[in-house]
């Protein structure tokens, strides 16, 4: 066992990032990448449960869900979508920068990403606050007087069923926001690590994998935005 | 190891701009009455955006790993099973 | 960094193995060695097994008489709930993959460790945290929803510690996800040179298929339990019928995972059986490709059948028919396995060692468990027997008869490799016999109980069901002895058992080509595989050439 | 119905027994015959495609017979005949409340006559329960928020177990009762002892006291659809779909009126969620149903509205 690293390709022996049980950096990187993608699949299935609930209730309680959806502020939803897209761009730019070994630039992009993440959460909290003020938070204090505006036709909806929409809204966006918070934590850590010189042209797998995670959270929002805000606007 | 495909900054910016444009488009289209097609259009645009992110930002377009693609496809495949077979119950409850 | 493991590099192989590589508590609790983690899992899983078994005994004692006289109804409800949750989430799901799988997957594919050793350790810590949380939940009053958490009972009616139990299951779920993720990546990326997919041991195939389910299914039950928790905490009523929500939606999401989860439990045991039968009939396996692919087929098909748990729950008639039809497809790969194992015995050279006795037991009990599964898939019958003791008997035949037979068989088979010692064969055969007899005596009467109409989860029952219940309780006490014995003699053998050679069974497989117990990094040099799995013909032709590290 | 389930069950037991014996004897014979002997080596066999295909397809064929027979039986179990005496069941922790059309109410007991199709229309006030009569080999979960149905025809007078089969809390095992099957004459006697008003009568009173009649009119077209002869007929919805106006549809239309708007009407009806109890809903449903069973359909329900002719429409051999 003493010679466990003797079989390793010479150029990689010096790389301090090579774990003992991998033959070379390529095997290690491929393993990490596959592992990350598998993890993303678990995330898809995790949100999939809620998407399934959404689909079921949109077919069975259409008017109530639509009425709830129409009270959301489309402006904030759209701005937040844009914020996330820009943050995804800064993530790929960070990876591009580290691929050229420009660590300072990488740090800068990661910091911007984190800041955009906070902007997203800030906007989300504005929306949540509005919901609280409007008594649109499910529970004993819930109150909803609106109707479903079906191209001008005002369709009354049952108050309790509109709670279904807001339950879905808070569950889905809340779980998404939780993922954003985790993402911000990861990105901040990576920014610090990059600042300390842990990553270089030769080794930046953690940044790459964190980027994959960030993009997936972005993709989930890309679906949440139309499902929750858009598709009931006009039917 | 160093065979990593480096995507140019220009490509990233172009894709980012496309995504932003699509966001504006889908938001505006939501106010146009297309009947049941509102949902279809919005979800098609969302899927297109997601594809752009997966292919370019997540580098799936450039990877030589068949496994990555297989993993993504199987993820969505099993999600589809969850949705489709659940709906097979809900859609047929009113029959008879 | 794998700093804890690195010092081992400098120690000569012959004098040290993974067990002697450090004796401090820290060297165990911070280990990233898959073998040590497997041992940690083995200890914790065994503790939970006996805790779950304790609850099982309480259930059997209560059901000795028709009146509820041993405990209160509420207590009984908590007892069967905690029996179920402990056995399902803290024993059956991790038992084979996290112990034998953890120990053997890298060894069998000639790798130094799993792909992500620290995530592997994290899995165990998540398991321990989840287990601790569950124990705490139990001590402060327990939970009474049944292991299935059905809404709206769990969200609106139960006033026990549902959220804490749910959180424990949620965390245990992530432990399982990380194990599965680790296995998949390891099998894909870390196989020894020459070890192609069609040369993999079937135990690896089985664990690979299991891991697919862990990755794809577990997140769905995780979010479902989160939704139950937020419904209790914040009134986000996704499943609340008072808001127009559909309580069956919970069942759909729950069974989307929990049906495939039974394959998480049984598949690795099936993998064990393939190893045992080949070794003790000295034969290559009959129909290698079919057994290998049937594992994957079971994993995939397992996701298409979940609503057969809901035939009487109020799903549509047509959906019930679709799911019933799809369920019969699962019968095919399961049957393929049983037939191929039987065919492997044909013209073999069979020895009746303890692991082989367990393999025979597995085939017997799994056959009965599987065939009664067909009863439950048959719509007209399911209406009558679902939610009765027929179901209880069926899933115990598969889960206890199948999984535990496989686990114990595997434990006896690989115990020399894990501990470096041999177990006492006579006692072991006795315990195998006790388990088999006790098991059948416990659970066979329950099939009859179910058909004559005794519903499950009953604290008291009409007197006419008593005779069969007494039989069942009597069987359970035999079974308990059968399970206690191995624990005693395994512990005994750690100190007094004869020293095991590298390959005491003269078995095929890379795990036997290193010392017993293996060194920390498993192999002196990365093996190169040039042979098919189960090449017993070659091994028996040249017995002296095989063991490398003896 | 019970003997049909038993017949299928016996078929399954036989097939399973044959399979089990086959595998057990094969394992036993191989284990003995090919036990290890000195100097004798195992005979290596690769496998056999023919065998693999054979033992995949043949069992699958057999399983298909299970499926078809089981599905046909299930279809019968789940399709109540048109002429059935209806009984409403409300489950709650931990009792069964039974409401007969004629007005009789029972708790944890259900009296039925022999030879008559009985259709149970069931709902739950709290959690999920399950109505299980082992003697009839029948079971159906009872859900909060909607109706599920179960039907049977008892042949033998006697008292049979009624169990709750879905775990529902503390007294789950105490949520048991009796199905009392009586000869028709005795049953008629038992019925006549009942004091209260028929269920559709009660529904009719509610219908006017809740103000339903202001919109759902029988003389002229009101703001809501005329409910005469609506029940169990297809209804064209505003969005183009067609649904059958069954118990669940009527129930849903009271609780969430906008979910399925009848074509040509405006979604103006308020919800009655929280304003009516499950028992009142049952009465309203029974009333709407009674409107479809008389020629004029104007106001008023028949007492024996659902006690259909004892002579079966056809000699259905279902039971």
Domain of A30, CATH number, reads: 1.20.120.80
Which of B82, B93, B95 minimises the CB distance to C256?
Answer: B82
Question: What is the CA angle C1-C7-C10, rounded to 5?
Answer: 135
For chain B, counts of helices (H) and of strands (E): 3, 0
Residue pLDDT, tens place only, D79-137: 989 889 999 999 999 999 999 988 888 899 999 999 999 999 999 999 999 999 999 99
Chain C nearest-CA distance from D315, in A, is 22
Using the beta-carbon criterion (under 8 Å), do C360 and D169 form an inter-chain contact? no
C318/B contact by beta carbon, under 8 A: yes
CB atoms within 10 A of CB A106: 26
User: At D141, is the secondary structure helix, strand, or coil?
Assistant: strand
Identify whether residues B75 and B53 lie together within a single domain: no
C397/D contact by beta carbon, under 8 A: no
Which of A21, A42, A160 minimises the CB distance to C242?
Answer: A160
Chain D nearest-CA distance from A40, in A, is 35
Query: CA neighbours within 13 Å on the CB side: how many for D318?
Result: 22
Crossing angle of the two packed helices C354-377 and C317-345, in degrees rounded to 10: 160
Which residues of chain D are within 8 Å of residue C328 when distances are taken between CB atoms? 60, 63-64, 66-67
Establish if A143 belongs to a structural domain: yes
The yes-or-no verdict on residue A157 having pLDDT over 80 is: yes
The yes-or-no verdict on residue A161 having pLDDT over 90 is: no
B74/A contact by beta carbon, under 8 A: yes
What is the residue-wise DSSP string for D235-252? EEBTTS-EEE--HHHHHH
Nearest-angstrom CA–CA distance, C203 and C1? 30
Q: Is the peptide bond before C24 cis (omega within 30 degrees of 0)?
A: no
Q: Which domains does chain D have, with CATH numbers?
A: 2-28+49-78 (no CATH), 85-192 (2.60.40.420), 199-293 (1.10.760.10)
Identify whether residues B13 and B28 lie together within a single domain: yes
CB atoms within 10 A of CB C339: 23
Q: Is the dihedral of CA C13, C19, C24, C30 positive or negative?
A: positive
CB atoms within 10 A of CB C440: 19
Residue pLDDT, tens place only, D24-72: 999 999 999 999 888 788 888 888 899 999 999 999 999 999 999 999 9
What does the DSSP 8-state code read for residue C184? Answer: H
Chain B nearest-CA distance from D166, in A, is 20
Which residues of chain A are within 8 Å of residue D257 when distances are taken between CB atoms? 156, 158
The model's pTM is: 0.90
Domain count, chain C: 1
Q: Is the peptide bond before C517 cis (omega within 30 degrees of 0)?
A: yes
> Which of D5, D24, D37, D45 would best serve as a mutation to test chain C binding (most C beta carbons within 10 A)?
D45
What does the DSSP 8-state code read for residue A229? Answer: I
Which residues of chain D are within 8 Å of residue B96 when distances are taken between CB atoms? 79, 244
Identify whether residues B52 and B73 lie together within a single domain: no
Which residues lie closer than 8 Å to D232 by C-beta, 6 or more apart? Answer: D244, D245, D246, D289, D292
Identify whether residues B37 and B59 lie together within a single domain: yes
Establish if C432 belongs to a structural domain: yes
Across chain A, which distance is largest between two alpha carbons, in Å? Answer: 79
Nearest-angstrom CA–CA distance, C104 and C509? 10
Q: Specify the pLDDT at position C180.
A: 96
Which residues lie closer than 8 Å to C135 by C-beta, 6 or more apart? Answer: none
The yes-or-no verdict on residue C110 having pLDDT over 80 is: yes
Q: CA-CA distances (angstroms) from residue D307 to C238, D100, D188?
A: 40, 11, 11
Roughly how many angstroms between the first and final C-alpha of chain B, as a whole number? 62
Using the beta-carbon criterion (under 8 Å), do C323 and B67 form an inter-chain contact? no
Domain count, chain B: 2
Which residues of chain A are within 8 Å of residue C525 when distances are taken between CB atoms? 3, 7
Q: Specify the pLDDT at position A14.
A: 60
> Which of C74, C287, C376, C380 would best serve as a mutation to test chain D binding (most D beta carbons within 10 A)?
C380
What ipTM does this complex have?
0.90
Residues of the domain holding C275: 37-541
Domain count, chain A: 1
| The pair of three-digit structure tokens given for residue A110, joined into one six-digit string | 């990661």
Using the beta-carbon criterion (under 8 Å), do B86 and C322 form an inter-chain contact? no
Nearest-angstrom CA–CA distance, D43 and C117? 41
CA dihedral D281, D287, D292, D294 (to 10 degrees): 170
Residue corresponding to tokens 């690795």? C268
The average pLDDT across C394-403 equals: 94
Identify whether residues B87 and B55 lie together within a single domain: no
The average pLDDT across C484-512 equals: 93
Residue pLDDT, tens place only, A119-138: 999 999 999 999 999 999 99
Establish if C535 belongs to a structural domain: yes
Identify whether residues B8 and B49 lie together within a single domain: yes
Establish if A18 belongs to a structural domain: no
Which residues lie closer than 8 Å to C71 by C-beta, 6 or more apart? Answer: C58, C62, C79
Which of C248, C253, C304 minimises the CB distance to B81?
Answer: C304
List the 243-262 stretch of D: residues with Cβ below 8 A of A.
Answer: 255-259
C299/B contact by beta carbon, under 8 A: no
Chain C nearest-CA distance from B2, in A, is 19
Nearest-angstrom CA–CA distance, C141 and C159? 10
Residues of the domain holding A124: 23-230
What residues of chain B score a pLDDT lower than 50? 1-2
Nearest-angstrom CA–CA distance, A6 and A15? 13
Which of B24, B31, B53 minimises the CB distance to A233?
Answer: B31
List the 127-146 stretch of A: residues with Cβ below 8 A of C.
Answer: 138-140
Which residues lie closer than 8 Å to C202 by C-beta, 6 or more apart? Answer: C271, C274, C275, C285, C288, C291, C292, C295, C533
Identify whether residues B7 and B34 lie together within a single domain: yes
Establish if A108 belongs to a structural domain: yes
D271/A contact by beta carbon, under 8 A: yes
What is the residue-wise DSSP string for C81-126? HHHHHIIIIIIIHHIIIIIIIHHHHHHHTT-SS-S-HHHHHHHHHH
The average pLDDT across C464-468 equals: 95
Using the beta-carbon criterion (under 8 Å), do A34 and B68 form an inter-chain contact? yes
Which residues lie closer than 8 Å to C545 by C-beta, 6 or more apart? Answer: none
Residues C94, C41 contacting (CB under 8 angstroms): yes
D243/B contact by beta carbon, under 8 A: yes
Q: Specify the pLDDT at position D294.
A: 55
> Using 50, 70 and 90 to split pLDDT, how confident is the model at A84?
very high
Q: Specify the pLDDT at position B4.
A: 63
C65/D contact by beta carbon, under 8 A: no
Establish if C7 belongs to a structural domain: no
Which of A61, A156, A159 minimises the CB distance to D267?
Answer: A156
Which residues of chain B are within 8 Å of residue A56 when distances are taken between CB atoms? 86-87, 90
Residue pLDDT, tens place only, C527-538: 999 988 999 988
Residues of the domain holding B17: 1-63
Identify whether residues B46 and B86 lie together within a single domain: no
The yes-or-no verdict on residue C287 having pLDDT over 70 is: yes
Nearest-angstrom CA–CA distance, D192 and C132? 62
- CATH number for the domain spanning C507: value is 1.20.210.10
C175 versus B62: the higher-pLDDT residue is: C175
List the 216-235 stretch of A: residues with Cβ below 8 A of C.
Answer: none
Using the beta-carbon criterion (under 8 Å), do B89 and C256 form an inter-chain contact? no
| The pair of three-digit structure tokens given for residue C524, joined into one six-digit string | 């002196």
**C138-170 burial, b for 16+ CB within 10 Å, e for fewer?**
beeebbbbbbbbbbbbbbbbbebbbbbbbbbbb
Lowest mean pLDDT among A154-163, C45-54, C98-107: A154-163
The yes-or-no verdict on residue D298 having pLDDT over 80 is: no
Q: Specify the pLDDT at position D308.
A: 36
Using the beta-carbon criterion (under 8 Å), do C243 and A161 form an inter-chain contact? yes
Of C104, C338, C99, C336, which is closest to residue C200 (Cα–Cα)?
A: C104
- Residue contacts between A and B (CB atoms, under 8 Å): 147
Proportion of chain A above pLDDT 90, given as a percent? 71
Query: CA neighbours within 13 Å on the CB side: how many for A158?
Result: 23
Proportion of chain C above pLDDT 70, given as a percent? 96
Residue pLDDT, tens place only, C130-174: 999 999 999 999 999 999 999 899 999 999 999 999 999 999 999
Which of C189, C231, C235 minimises the CB distance to A34?
Answer: C189
Of C240, C346, C382, which is closest to residue D126 (Cα–Cα)?
A: C240
Nearest-angstrom CA–CA distance, C463 and C470? 11
The average pLDDT across C396-403 equals: 94
Q: Specify the pLDDT at position C199.
A: 94
Which residues of chain D are within 8 Å of residue C284 when distances are taken between CB atoms? 44-46
Nearest-angstrom CA–CA distance, A205 and C474? 59
Nearest-angstrom CA–CA distance, C420 and C411? 13
The yes-or-no verdict on residue D303 having pLDDT over 80 is: no
Chain B nearest-CA distance from C252, in A, is 7
Residues A184, A114 contacting (CB under 8 angstroms): yes
Q: Which residue of D has its CA nearest to C365?
A: D20
List the 207-266 stretch of D: residues with Cβ below 8 A of C.
Answer: 255-256
Q: Specify the pLDDT at position D319.
A: 32
Q: Specify the pLDDT at position C4.
A: 37
Q: CA-CA distances (angstroms) from residue A229 to A3, A75, A192, C165, C236?
A: 60, 9, 36, 35, 19
Residues C373, C308 contacting (CB under 8 angstroms): no
Pair type for strands D117-124 and A153-156: unpaired
Which residues lie closer than 8 Å to C335 by C-beta, 6 or more apart? Answer: C370, D55, D56, D59
> Using 50, 70 and 90 to split pLDDT, how confident is the model at D305?
very low
> How buried is residue C114: exposed, middle or buried, by Cβ count under 10 Å (0-12/13-18/19+)?
buried
> Using 50, 70 and 90 to split pLDDT, how confident is the model at D169?
very high
The yes-or-no verdict on residue A193 having pLDDT over 80 is: yes
Chain D nearest-CA distance from C41, in A, is 33
Q: CA-CA distances (angstroms) from residue C107 to A230, B22, C33, C509?
A: 53, 51, 12, 9
Identify whether residues B36 and B57 lie together within a single domain: yes
Q: Specify the pLDDT at position D315.
A: 34
Residue pLDDT, tens place only, C337-349: 999 999 999 999 9
Which of D255, D267, D274 minimises the CB distance to A155?
Answer: D267
Residues A15, A25 contacting (CB under 8 angstroms): yes
List the 57-96 stretch of D: residues with Cβ below 8 A of B.
Answer: 79
Establish if A117 belongs to a structural domain: yes
Which residues of chain B are within 8 Å of residue D251 when distances are taken between CB atoms? none
Which of D45, D161, D172 minimises the CB distance to C457?
Answer: D172
CA dihedral C237, C240, C241, C246 (to 10 degrees): 90
Q: CA-CA distances (angstroms) from residue D155 to A52, C509, D110, D113, D318?
A: 45, 64, 15, 9, 12
The yes-or-no verdict on residue C548 having pLDDT over 90 is: no
Chain D nearest-CA distance from C385, in A, is 8
Using the beta-carbon criterion (under 8 Å), do C345 and D66 form an inter-chain contact? no
Question: What is the CA angle C10-C12-C16, rounded to 5?
Answer: 105
D285/C contact by beta carbon, under 8 A: no
CA dihedral C111, C114, C116, C118 (to 10 degrees): -120
Q: Specify the pLDDT at position C77.
A: 95
Q: Specify the pLDDT at position D206.
A: 85
Establish if A7 belongs to a structural domain: no
Using the beta-carbon criterion (under 8 Å), do C219 and A7 form an inter-chain contact? no
Q: Which residue of A has its CA nearest to B10?
A: A93
D223/A contact by beta carbon, under 8 A: no
C457/D contact by beta carbon, under 8 A: yes
Establish if C199 belongs to a structural domain: yes
Q: Give the mean pLDDT of chain D.
A: 84
């Amino acid at each position: 066992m003493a010679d466990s690293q003797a079989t390793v390709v010479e150029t990689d022996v010096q790389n301090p990032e090579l774990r003992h049980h991998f033959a070379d950096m390529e095997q290690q990187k491929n393993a990490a990448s596959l592992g990350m993608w598998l993890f993303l699949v678990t995330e898809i299935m995790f949100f999939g449960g809620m998407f399934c609930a959404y689909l079921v209730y949109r077919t069975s309680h259409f008017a109530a869900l639509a009425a709830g959806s129409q009270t959301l502020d489309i402006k904030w939803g759209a701005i937040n979508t844009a914020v996330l897209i820009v943050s995804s761009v800064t993530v790929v730019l960070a990876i591009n920068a580290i691929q050229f070994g420009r660590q300072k630039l990488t740090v800068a992009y990661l910091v911007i990403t984190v800041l955009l993440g906070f902007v997203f959460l800030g906007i989300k909290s504005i929306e949540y606050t509005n919901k609280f003020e409007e008594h649109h938070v499910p529970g004993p204090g819930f109150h909803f007087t609106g109707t479903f505006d079906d191209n001008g036709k005002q369709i009354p909806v049952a108050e309790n069923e509109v709670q279904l929409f807001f339950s879905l809204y808070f569950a889905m966006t809340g779980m998404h926001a939780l993922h954003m918070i985790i993402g911000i934590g990861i990105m901040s850590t990576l920014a610090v690590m990059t600042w300390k010189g842990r990553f270089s042209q030769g080794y930046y797998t953690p940044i790459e994998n964190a980027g994959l995670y960030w993009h997936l959270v972005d993709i989930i929002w890309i679906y949440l935005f139309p499902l929750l805000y858009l598709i009931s606007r006009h039917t | 190891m160093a065979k990593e495909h480096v995507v140019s900054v220009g490509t990233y910016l172009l894709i980012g701009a496309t995504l932003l444009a699509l966001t504006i488009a889908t938001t505006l289209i939501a106010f146009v009455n297309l009947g049941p097609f509102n949902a279809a259009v919005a979800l098609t645009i969302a899927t297109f955006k997601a594809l752009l992110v997966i292919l370019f930002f997540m580098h799936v377009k450039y990877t030589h790993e068949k496994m990555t693609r297989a993993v993504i496809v199987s993820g969505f495949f099993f999600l589809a099973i969850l949705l489709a077979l659940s709906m097979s119950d809900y859609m047929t409850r009113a029959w008879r | 960094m794998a700093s804890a493991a690195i010092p081992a590099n400098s120690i000569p192989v012959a004098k040290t193995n993974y067990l002697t590589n450090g004796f401090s508590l820290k060297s165990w609790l911070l280990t990233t060695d898959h073998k040590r983690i497997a041992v940690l899992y083995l200890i914790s899983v065994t503790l939970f097994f006996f805790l779950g078994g304790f609850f099982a005994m309480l259930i059997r004692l209560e059901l000795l008489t028709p009146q509820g006289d041993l405990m209160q109804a509420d207590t009984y409800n908590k007892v069967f709930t905690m029996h179920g949750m402990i056995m399902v989430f803290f024993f059956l799901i991790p038992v084979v993959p996290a112990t034998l799988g953890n120990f053997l997957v890298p060894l069998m594919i000639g790798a130094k460790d799993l792909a992500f050793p620290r995530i592997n350790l994290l899995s165990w810590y998540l398991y321990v945290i989840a287990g601790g949380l569950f124990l705490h939940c139990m001590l402060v009053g327990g939970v009474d929803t049944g292991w299935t958490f059905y809404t709206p009972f769990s969200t609106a009616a139960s006033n026990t510690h549902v959220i804490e139990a749910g959180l424990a299951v949620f965390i245990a779920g992530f432990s399982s996800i990380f194990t599965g993720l680790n296995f998949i990546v390891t099998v894909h990326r870390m196989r020894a040179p020459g070890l192609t997919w069609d040369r993999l041991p079937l135990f690896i195939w089985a664990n690979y298929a299991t891991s697919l389910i862990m990755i794809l299914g577990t997140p769905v039950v995780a979010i479902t339990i989160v939704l139950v928790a937020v419904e209790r905490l914040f009134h986000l009523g996704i499943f609340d019928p008072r808001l127009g929500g559909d309580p069956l939606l919970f069942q759909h999401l729950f069974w989307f995972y929990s049906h495939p989860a039974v394959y998480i439990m049984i598949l690795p045991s099936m993998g064990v059986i393939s190893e045992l039968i080949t070794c003790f009939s000295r034969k290559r396996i009959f129909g290698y490709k079919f057994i290998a692919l049937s594992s994957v087929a079971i994993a995939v098909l397992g996701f298409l059948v979940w609503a057969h748990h809901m035939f009487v729950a109020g799903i549509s008639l047509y959906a019930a028919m679709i799911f019933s039809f799809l369920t019969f497809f699962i019968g095919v790969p399961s049957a393929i396995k049983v037939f191929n194992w039987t065919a492997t015995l044909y013209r073999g050279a069979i020895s009746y060692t303890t692991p082989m006795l367990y393999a025979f037991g597995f085939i017997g009990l799994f056959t009965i468990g599987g065939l009664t599964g067909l009863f439950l898939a048959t719509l007209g019958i399911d209406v009558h027997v679902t939610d009765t003791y027929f179901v209880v008997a069926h899933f115990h035949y598969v889960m206890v008869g199948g999984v535990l037979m496989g686990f114990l068989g595997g434990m006896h088979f690989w115990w020399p490799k894990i501990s470096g010692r041999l177990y006492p064969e006579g006692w072991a055969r006795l315990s195998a016999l006790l388990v088999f007899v006790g098991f059948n005596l416990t659970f066979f009467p329950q099939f009859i109980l179910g058909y004559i109409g005794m519903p499950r989860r009953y604290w008291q029952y009409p007197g006419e069901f008593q005779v069969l219940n007494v039989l069942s309780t009597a069987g359970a006490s035999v079974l308990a002895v059968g399970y206690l014995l191995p624990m005693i003699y395994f512990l005994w053998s750690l100190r007094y058992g004869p020293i095991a050679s590298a390959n005491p069974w003269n078995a095929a497989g890379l795990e036997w080509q290193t010392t017993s117990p293996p060194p920390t990094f498993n192999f002196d040099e990365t093996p190169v595989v040039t042979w098919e799995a189960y090449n017993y013909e070659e091994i028996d032709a040249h017995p002296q050439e095989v063991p490398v590290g003896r | 119905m019970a003997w049909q389930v038993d017949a299928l069950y016996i078929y399954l037991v036989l097939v399973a027994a044959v399979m089990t014996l086959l595998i057990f004897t094969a394992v036993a014979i191989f284990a003995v015959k090919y036990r290890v002997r000195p100097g004798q080596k195992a005979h290596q066999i690769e496998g056999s495609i023919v065998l693999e295909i054979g033992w995949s397809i043949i069992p699958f064929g057999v399983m298909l017979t299970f499926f078809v027979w089981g599905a046909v039986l299930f279809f019968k179990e789940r399709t109540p005949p048109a002429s059935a005496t209806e009984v409403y069941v409300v489950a709650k922790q931990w009792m069964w409340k039974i409401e007969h059309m004629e007005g009789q109410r029972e708790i944890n007991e259900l009296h039925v006559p022999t030879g008559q199709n009985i259709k149970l229309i069931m709902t739950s006030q709290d959690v999920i329960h399950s109505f299980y009569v082992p003697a009839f080999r029948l079971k159906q979960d009872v859900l909060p928020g909607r109706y599920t149905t179960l039907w049977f025809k008892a042949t033998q007078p006697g008292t049979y177990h009624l169990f709750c089969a879905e775990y529902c809390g503390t007294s789950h095992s105490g949520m048991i009762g009796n199905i009392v099957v009586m000869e028709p004459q005795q049953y008629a006697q038992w019925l006549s002892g009942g004091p209260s008003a028929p269920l559709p009568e009660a529904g009719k009173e509610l219908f006017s006291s809740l103000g339903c009649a202001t919109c759902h009119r029988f003389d002229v077209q009101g703001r809501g659809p005329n409910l005469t002869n609506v029940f169990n007929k297809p209804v064209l919805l505003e969005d183009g779909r067609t649904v059958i106006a069954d118990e669940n549809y009527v129930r849903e239309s009271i609780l969430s009126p906008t979910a399925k708007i009848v074509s040509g009407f405006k979604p103006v009806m308020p919800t009655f969620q929280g304003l009516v109890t499950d028992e009142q809903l049952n009465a309203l449903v029974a009333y709407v149903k009674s409107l479809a069973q008389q020629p004029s359909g104007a106001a008023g329900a028949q007492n024996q509205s659902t006690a259909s002719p004892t002579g079966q429409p056809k000699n259905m051999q279902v039971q």
